[in-house]
């Protein structure tokens, strides 16, 4: 494969949670082999992975373009499973891009928001057997470490089997299951927190409105 195994290292943010480390090296060389129809068939799936990891259509397209170049330079005769090869390359390049994006956003002033995905035009976003990542879920995915995020995206948007997730991330199947479970648990906790904050905000707004109405009534009297 064009990407080496994904390792684990400490995130360096004091939480001690694992982050994937990606080292892709140079794209493999070889004859063009098969035509673009193989990549075109898998392209929408690859875009889903990259978008779920990056929350940006522009950056997702950049990753898919990079994977396409690597695929063109690969000797297809030695690739037993094109889907597995392309999925692994896309996930690992997305992880590397996400690490870079998080470093840049550390010095960014103001909240970062993902780019909503336009699903009305089909094309790269209409992969069969996949489902888009909702905008609010993308916001919460930003709070996960990248191994959890990758496992969640592969499982929830592509219904990838745990064995495939394990192979992509360079872990065993039990660890892949744990990553997905941990991601779901963190997302559920974040969702509950957001709902409490939203309810509190509505109650505060209603209280302020009632207080304002009372003051106006008193002044009118």
pLDDT in tens, 152-163: 999 998 999 999
**In a domain? residue 1:** no
Check residue 132 and report its DSSP letter.
P
Q: Is the dihedral of CA 52, 125, 165, 137 positive or negative?
A: positive
Mean pLDDT of 108-117: 65
Task: State the pTM of this model.
Answer: 0.67
**In a domain? residue 155:** yes
pLDDT surpassing 60 at residue 42? yes
- Parent domain of 177: 7-220
pLDDT surpassing 50 at residue 20? no
**In a domain? residue 2:** no
Tell me the C-alpha distance between 6 and 99, whole Å: 13
The domain that holds 159 is classified in CATH as: 1.20.140.160
Inter-residue contact 80 to 139 (CB < 8 Å): no
Map residue 35 onto helix, strand or coil.
Answer: coil
User: What pLDDT sits at residue 37?
Assistant: 87
Cβ neighbors of 199 (< 8 A, separation 6 or more) are none
In which band, very low, low, confident or very high, does the pLDDT at 164 lie, cut at 50, 70 and 90? very high
Q: How many domains does the chain have?
A: 1
């Amino acid at each position: 494969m064009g990407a080496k195994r994904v390792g684990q290292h400490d995130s360096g943010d004091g939480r001690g949670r694992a982050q994937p480390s990606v080292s892709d090296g140079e794209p493999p060389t070889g004859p063009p082999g098969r035509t673009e129809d193989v990549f075109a068939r898998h392209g929408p799936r690859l875009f889903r992975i990259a978008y779920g990891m990056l929350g940006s259509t522009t950056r997702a397209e950049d990753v898919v373009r990079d994977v396409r170049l690597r695929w063109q330079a690969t000797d297809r005769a030695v690739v037993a499973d094109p889907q597995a090869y392309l999925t692994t390359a896309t996930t690992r390049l997305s992880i590397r891009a996400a690490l870079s994006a998080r470093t840049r956003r550390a010095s960014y002033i103001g909240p970062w928001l993902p780019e909503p995905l336009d699903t009305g035009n089909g094309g790269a976003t209409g992969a069969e057997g996949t489902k888009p990542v909702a905008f609010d879920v993308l916001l919460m995915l930003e709070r996960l470490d990248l191994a959890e995020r990758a496992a969640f995206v592969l499982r929830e948007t592509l219904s990838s089997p745990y064995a495939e997730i394990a192979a992509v991330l360079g872990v065993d199947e039990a660890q892949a299951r744990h990553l997905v479970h941990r991601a779901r648990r963190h997302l559920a906790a974040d969702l509950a927190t957001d709902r409490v904050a939203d309810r509190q905000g509505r109650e505060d707004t209603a209280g302020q409105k009632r207080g304002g109405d009372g003051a106006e009534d008193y002044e009118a009297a």
